[in-house]
Amino acid sequence: MRIVRIIVVLSMVVCWAGAAESGGTNQDRKKPWNENQGERLYNGIVLPEVWPPNDIDPQNTAPMPVPYLESRPQVVPIDVGRQLFVDDFLIETTDLKRAYHRPKKFAGNPVLKPETELEQGYSKNWEAMAKGGLWWDPAENVFKMWYDAGWVNTICYATSNDGLTWNRPALDVKPGTNQALPADLHPDTWSVVLDTESKDPQQRYKMAIRLRTLYPPGLQKGGLSMTSPDGIHWTNRTTMGFAGDCSTMFYNPFRKKWVYSLRSQFRGRSRHYLETADFLAGAKWKPFDLSAQKRWMPGEPVVWAAVDRDDPQDRMLQLTPQLYSLNAVAYESIVLGAFDIWRGPENNVCNAMGLPKITEVNFAYSRDGFHWYRPDRRAHIPAERHDVWDRGYVRALSNLCCVRGDTLWFYYSAFQGDADRTYRIHSENGMYCHGATGVAFLRRDGFASMDAGETAGKLTTRPIRFTGSHMFVNVDASQGELRAEILDVAGQPIAPFTLDHCRSIHANSTLQQVGWADAEDLTALHGKTVRFRFTLQQGSLYAFWVSRDASGRSDGYVAGGGPGFTGPTDTVGRAALEAEAETGVGGNR
């Protein structure tokens, strides 16, 4: 018995030592989020001391838990960005009905299609697909796009003033063409981020690229992280840790972290996560177990995301879906995610038919940059599944969308395929053929609305705090009415911000000021804990926020940006609406 006790004690010591080395066990981290003592975020969420979490069970097919919704902050600061209704984070009580919305594809798609020799590719498969990124550059007042030109061929660069007509400037990388990638590199998947906050002008653009050799296309060559002053000439080549195909990266400005979204296979196609404050130094992560069967060790990416049991099968293919890719961007007060969901068929079937696999874009929402809330499992940007340019392989860009006045522009890429094998690629495979780029439109903040019919309904927020001075809403009450009041902690209206004093709103506006008689602004409530209560009849409420001034600026993030914006956040308010109106493209939507 004494020998047994010694063995048990030694085993416990070894376990404790291993836990200390790895930052604690999964069980150590399972405490209520209201007891967290880690980093405090802009929205009042406090993270666990150990971050990112490594307690995701790779075999659990239940939807990802979202702990900040189960244990919400007592008070939510709302100084950053428009406050969206994609979840219940801000809602205390309501009898309004929530509806989720999808973008509408542009009737004039595609806006970029293969036309040049580079875009035809070495195998004549015809591809001009903007997957890597599309950003508004406020320094030059122009849209910039990076796109795949030819399958596994190169990356090209285009610019546009209106987002619809794209110019291919002649560059010096390959003289006479718009190639923006050195000739010795051939891309698999990649991301480009315009880093307007970079202190080094030589690193204003960041690229993470997973490489392939020219032949054969499936040979894994690892990847590089690189920087550039202009998005054309790339230096500081830094070898990344292992990355499976479709690995990407994005920037989380709320926490000032670069995030590598790494392809793994713990539950079919799935994702591991790695974050770093230093884009180049952080690219050298340790090798990790793609199947997540081995114990996580410090320095390795952590298990992150996959499809779950709520993701529907394709009604025709009847295959278990998988997570093909995951991109994200900061939008207003949330991290907006795009889950590219694979529906099938498998590659060998697509090869035989010469048709693209079916992938579609599904939106996801996060307030901590790691945990995803996915309430609406429809395809937000679907594959058409018949012989048109976006028949299948629909993919989101790394920046997801741009903000154009009242509208969000979601660019996406897709393949038509070549069932007749008119163009041959990789053993007569036409699945990766006729790739192009299109765009779809959604109302600004229009992911979810809180709706009321003929009977008026109410929505009361949880306790909030702000330092702004002017309340704004994004609302469609053109056939009805919206009014608001401000309550104290006990739920009593604060004069003069009462319902009776509120000026009724009968408008359809993405930037509508809320005002009260006998109240010039909200300065008297600075720093106080209050609640907002909205009363709505025959209308839809999309967002609310308190602006620093009467311009309606939100100081939230604007994804890929757009005309009028001077940086990564909305510091201009109504001026962005005016700048977009000057582009003259409104009627083309």
Distances (CA, A) of 212 to 82, 126, 320: 41, 18, 28
Maximum C-alpha span of the chain? 85
Residue 126 scores a pLDDT above 90 = no
Residue 156 scores a pLDDT above 50 = yes
Q: How far apart are CA 547 and CA 570, in angstroms?
A: 10
Q: How far apart are CA 206 and CA 251, in angstroms?
A: 10
pLDDT digits (tens, 9 = 90+) for 478-506: 999 999 999 999 999 999 999 999 999 99
pLDDT on residue 423: 52
pLDDT on residue 244: 85
Closest to 314 (Cα-Cα) out of 271, 285, 357 = 357
Look at the block and give the residue holding tokens 């702000």. Answer: 466
- Using an 8 Å Cβ cutoff, are 310 and 328 in contact? no
Q: What is the mean pLDDT of the chain?
A: 90
Residue 432 scores a pLDDT above 70 = yes
pLDDT on residue 24: 35
Residue 512 scores a pLDDT above 60 = yes
pLDDT on residue 6: 35
Q: How far apart are CA 332 and CA 558, in angstroms?
A: 6
What is the SS3 assignment for 451-503?
Answer: EECCCCEEEEECCEECCCCEEEEEEECCCCEEEEEEECCCCCECCCCCCCCEC
pLDDT on residue 362: 98
pLDDT on residue 23: 35
Handedness of CA 239, 179, 193, 52 (dihedral sign): negative
Which amino acid would we find at residue 392?
A: G
Residue 37 CB-density burial (10 A; 0-12 exposed, 13-18 middle, 19+ buried): exposed
**Structure token digits, residue 293:** 């069967």
pLDDT digits (tens, 9 = 90+) for 175-203: 999 999 999 998 889 999 999 999 999 99
Look at the block and give the residue holding tokens 């036409």. Answer: 430
Mean pLDDT throughout 59-75?
96
pTM: 0.93
Long-range contact set of residues 511-520: C-beta below 8 Å, sequence gap at least 24: 511/472, 511/474, 511/552, 511/573, 511/574, 511/577, 512/472, 512/473, 512/474, 512/475, 513/470, 513/471, 513/472, 513/550, 513/552, 514/471, 514/472, 514/473, 514/484, 514/544, 515/471
pLDDT on residue 429: 66
pLDDT on residue 4: 37
Mean pLDDT throughout 289-296?
90
Which range is least confidently modeled, 98-102, 418-422, 483-487?
A: 418-422
Helix (H, G, I), strand (E, B) or coil at 70: helix
Burial 334-362 (b: 16+ CB within 10 A, else e): bbbbbbbbbbbbeeeebbeebbbbbbbbb
pLDDT digits (tens, 9 = 90+) for 317-352: 899 999 999 999 999 999 999 999 999 999 888 888
DSSP state of 373: B
Q: How far apart are CA 502 and CA 523, in angstroms?
A: 16
Residues 6+ apart with CB under 8 A from 351: 427, 429, 431
Specify the DSSP element, H or E, that contains 351. helix 347-353
Tally the C-alpha atoms within 13 A of residue 472's C-alpha that lie toward its C-beta. Answer: 29
Closest to 311 (Cα-Cα) out of 384, 395, 376, 391 = 376
Which amino acid would we find at residue 175?
A: P
